[in-house]
A and B are shown apart, each in its own frame.
Chain A
Amino acid sequence: MKGFPLLCLPNVALQEVLSTMNPLELVFLSKTSLKAQKVAKFFSKQKPISQYSIILDFENPSLQIDGTTTKCLYDISNLKYMEGYLNNDDEYYVKYSKNHITALMEFARYVIEVFGWPVRQVQLNFGKFRNKNNSITDFLKIHVKNTDFCILDGDIIADRYASYFFKNFQVTVGIVLLSKMSANFRLILPQHIHYLDIQESDYITYDQINNFNFDVLKLCKTKITNQELNLFFKNWMASKSHINLRSFLISIENLEAFDTIADLPDVIKGDPKTVRILHREQVVGGCDIKRNDGTVATLYTKSGEDGNVDLILIVH
């Protein structure tokens, strides 16, 4: 049977057909010919196709395209027999390649150039494809330019890779840093981000956190002392630092440390038998502290991962 001349349809019909296709199918259609590519590029500026966004994962090399009603995954695998749609799921395509990162970069570059979808999140593992770390950053710098969130992981000391990453690639909203850094690593973060989560934060000094001004701050495995934390909260109460802070979590040694840290003026202790809901978190006990502008926050503890105790501040 002769093929359906889809690309010869009037634009109004073409737009309707393309709008009912999932983003992976749109990408594949665009790759069928130069005309198809032009058509895809044109309609990518219009709703609903313009509303997709991308998550780029260099840890488990894949590109996810998210829309309001769908999530499609383009996964790179070194298993030849896996190539194609996984289990006939038209939202999960596996591409065979021995060069995962190169294949992902080629696909991402094509998708970004043709469809212009923003990259909402980048995930990178510095330890997994070590010799590709800087070329990934270079790729991001040239082709992605910026992202809302990034998640950086890796079981190696990643000082130079992380520095290179932050120097060359712009993150606009939040950073999750899971990789290890050396004790004397000086983290230089992009300005204006709102969210910072550092899981291995033993290189973060008190002076550094005093200069942070994020909405959400999480620091685990820290070397910040109880006295420094006490000073941190006193500074917050005096509006000397962290004016934008909405939520703060830091791992502390044990429950006894709470007494030292929460030795603050005008503390109002919470009822240990009452459960309060603050920012969707269940809070039992703890204490309320007040900033000099009247803003109230609750300070409390809860069990963290690996048997740690997490000290949490939630600003009301």
Chain B
Amino acid sequence: MSCEEPTTSPTPENNITVVSSDGKEFLLDLKLTEQSETLARLISNFEYDRTDVKKDPVPLGNITSAQMQKIIEWLQHHRYYPKWEQNDIHYSTSFTFETWVEEYLNIPNNEMFELLNAANYLNIPRLFSTICRIMASRITGKSAEQIRTVLNIKTDVKNDVYTGIPIQEDSSSSEDGMSEISLSPSPPPI
């Protein structure tokens, strides 16, 4: 869907300042922060939506200025979209993405990975879900060997116990694999 985007200029009453990990300050319209559950909760807790409350800059230690720039671009584009409704997540044969989203996410894999982590950190469900679905769509219609190529999984010495075919160990992370299992995104320590 697309929405008209009336221009508004932030005023001290309706914005907050966030500070990226590299020290850059961004002025954020409160309307935009509604898309981030983390920021929205923070604003509510500190009553930053009141005009008589002094607003300290919010440090976002896990977000670089480049990522913040990219996220603001997303928030601006979706400013007048209805609130994101998370349906039951399941496989669907027909994920489609609007052209703007495809262009927005036409970025290198490492940037995509960082953006997904940032979306998770700030709890922006629409961005988070969209990147996840884009990632899943990159694996669609691929065999194990092709998936290895897409995910750049390095060769492993072990053989598949069932087929004898070499299977490969992802060398990009530790052997024990799973981190502590936590299935709900946690807000940043503020």
Contact = CB atoms under 8 A, between A and B. Distances in A.
Residue from B91, B117, B182 with most neighbouring chain A CB atoms (10 Å): B91
Q: Which 10 A-B pairs have the closest CB atoms?
A: A3-B152, A90-B141, A16-B132, A4-B109, A31-B144, A20-B136, A19-B89, A28-B144, A35-B177, A35-B170
Given A4-B138, A5-B151, A34-B169, A29 B144 contact: yes
Given A31-B167, A32-B168, A11 B178 contact: yes
Interface string A240-274: 00000000000000000000000000000000000
Contact of A4 (B112, B156, B169): B112
B117 to A, nearest CB: 7
B142 A25 contact: yes
A142 interface: no
Contacts of B190: none
Given A16-B89, A33-B170, A39-B177, A6 B140 contact: no
B145 to A, nearest CB: 8
B179 A4 contact: no
Interface in A37-72: 37-39, 42, 46, 48, 67-70
Interface in B128-150: 128-129, 132-133, 135-136, 138-144, 147-150
A15 B108 contact: no
A20 B132 contact: yes
Interface in A2-30: 2-13, 15-23, 25, 28-29
B62 to A, nearest CB: 12
A88 B142 CA distance: 10
A3 B149 contact: yes
Contacts of B143: 28, 84-85, 93
Interface of B: 88-93, 95, 108-110, 112-113, 116-117, 120, 128-129, 132-133, 135-136, 138-144, 147-153, 156, 158, 160, 162-163, 167-170, 172-173, 175, 177-179, 181-185
A36 interface: yes
Given A4-B138, A15-B89, A22-B93, 4 more contacts: A2-B152, A4-B135, A25-B147, A29-B144
A204 B156 CA distance: 57
Contacts of A5: 109, 113, 151-152, 172-173
Nearest to A38: B177
A136 to B, nearest CB: 17
B127 to A, nearest CB: 11
Contact of B182 (A3, A12, A22, A88): A12
Contacts of B153: 3, 32-33, 36
Nearest to B141: A90
B90 A48 contact: yes
Nearest to A88: B141
Nearest to A85: B141
A32 B156 CA distance: 10
Given A5-B172, A42-B181, A67-B90, A31 B160 contact: yes
A293 B160 CA distance: 61
B118 to A, nearest CB: 11
A195 B113 CA distance: 52
A277 interface: no
A25 B156 CA distance: 20
Most buried by B among A20, A25, A29, A85: A20
9 contacts: A4-B112, A13-B132, A16-B129, A29-B147, A32-B167, A33-B168, A35-B170, A36-B170, A68-B90
Most chain A C-beta atoms within 10 Å of own C-beta, residue among B112, B135, B167: B135
